[in-house]
Amino acid sequence: MDFMQQLVQQLINGISLGSIYALIALGYTMIYGIIKLINFAHGDIYMVGAYIGYFSITMAHLSIVPSLIISMVVTGLLGMLIERLAYKPLRHAPRISVLITAIGVSFFLEYTSMYFVSPTPRTFPAVFDNIAYHFGPFIINGQQMLIFGITFILMVALTYIVQRTKIGKAMRAVSFDTETAQLMGIDANRIISITFGIGSALAAAGGVLVGVYYNSIDPLMGIMPGLKAFVAAVLGGIGILPGAMVGGLILGVIEALVSGFVSSTFRDAAAFAILILVLLFKPSGIFGKNTREKV
């Protein structure tokens, strides 16, 4: 029973962490899907989101939900601006140029943030009193409930947008075949911009939630989760939305289990071992399939 209790507790922790990975991974995968760019600045976007949430709570004295919304909107606009200034001029450039630019944008965000907010970690204010929900022997705290709730709402909203709305159909069309999408009268540049906006807003939500969960934010906080979310996106099948959701959750759960039952020192090693295994045995990821073509 003791083992079972610990297992379930680690699963709860893993799903919390995994939800945050999933939120970041969604942006990675959407942006990859639409312009085939691994946006290495995505983890830093998540960091910016965390800071905007932090300042909304501490300086504007807003509560968590309005802060989350403000952070998502502002960070979304920042993502669109970055795309417009840094990536759009390179639309027809070799992919390696865009990739290097993304790394440049990543450093730019990290060190510009350091200049403005100082490199010292900040304590994210407690948005809840320490509430803990007891389900039999298991404990879910308020932060975890918030993470589950927000992540669930955002995933449902995203799925609805992508599957049911006109913009979503246009996003899928541009991602499948940009040129033919243009022949349908779709403004591909606008759709790419919107995709960056949505992806960045989701990362911002992840940033605010991680601030709430771990209570500490700093300008380099995006590096590791950014890489992990990339692993999650590859694990699920890069470019595939349900893949990013499932990949994030699996990664979070594996990390929690490794921390809980082996040693937290091996946590990161486990994540990257997964990346290597996926690349070796199923490079297209869990949801990836080989595309067929008919003549």
We find the least distance from the C-beta atom of residue 182 to another protein, in angstroms, to be 4
Please give the residues from 220 up to 279 whose contact with another protein meets the rule CB under 8 A.
Answer: none
We find the least distance from the C-beta atom of residue 190 to another protein, in angstroms, to be 9
We find the least distance from the C-beta atom of residue 150 to another protein, in angstroms, to be 29
Binding of residue 295 to another protein (CB under 8 A): yes
Pseudo-torsion of CA 134, 138, 143, 149, nearest 10°? Answer: -90
In DSSP notation, 172-230 reads HHHHH-HHHHHHTT--HHHHHHHHHHHHHHHHHHHHHHHHHHHSEE-TTTTHHHHHHHH
**124: Cβ contacts below 8 Å, ≥ 6 apart:** 50, 53, 54, 57, 211, 212, 214, 215, 216, 217
- Over the window 30 to 69, marking each residue x when it contacts another protein by CB under 8 A and - when it does not, the resulting string is ----------------------------------------
Q: Which stretch binds another protein (CB under 8 A): 139-147, 166-174, 197-205, 263-271?
A: 166-174
We find the least distance from the C-beta atom of residue 167 to another protein, in angstroms, to be 10
Binding of residue 290 to another protein (CB under 8 A): no
* Closer CB to another protein, 94 or 136, in the complex: 94
Kindly state the tokens that stand for 95: 């992919």
- Over the window 167 to 206, marking each residue x when it contacts another protein by CB under 8 A and - when it does not, the resulting string is --xx-xx--xx-xxxxxxxxx-------------------
Q: Are 91 and 97 within 8 A, CB to CB?
A: no
* Closer CB to another protein, 134 or 294, in the complex: 294
Binding of residue 165 to another protein (CB under 8 A): no
The Cα-based distances of 43 to 2, 113, 132, 223, 237 in angstroms read 37, 13, 30, 6, 19
Q: Are 191 and 174 within 8 A, CB to CB?
A: yes
We find the least distance from the C-beta atom of residue 151 to another protein, in angstroms, to be 26
- Cα–Cα distance for residue pair 116/50, rounded to 1 Å: 14
Q: Which stretch binds another protein (CB under 8 A): 80-88, 100-108, 220-228, 285-293?
A: 285-293
Backbone angles phi, psi at 293, to 5 degrees: -135, 135
Q: For the chain, where are the E strands, in sequence order?
A: 122-123, 132-135, 138-141, 216-217
Backbone angles phi, psi at 216, to 5 degrees: -140, 135
Kindly state the tokens that stand for 117: 């907010």
We find the least distance from the C-beta atom of residue 27 to another protein, in angstroms, to be 21
The site that binds another protein (CB under 8 A) totals a number of residues, namely 21
We find the least distance from the C-beta atom of residue 129 to another protein, in angstroms, to be 48
**Footprint on this chain of another protein (rule: CB under 8 A):** 166, 169-170, 172-173, 176-177, 179-187, 291-295
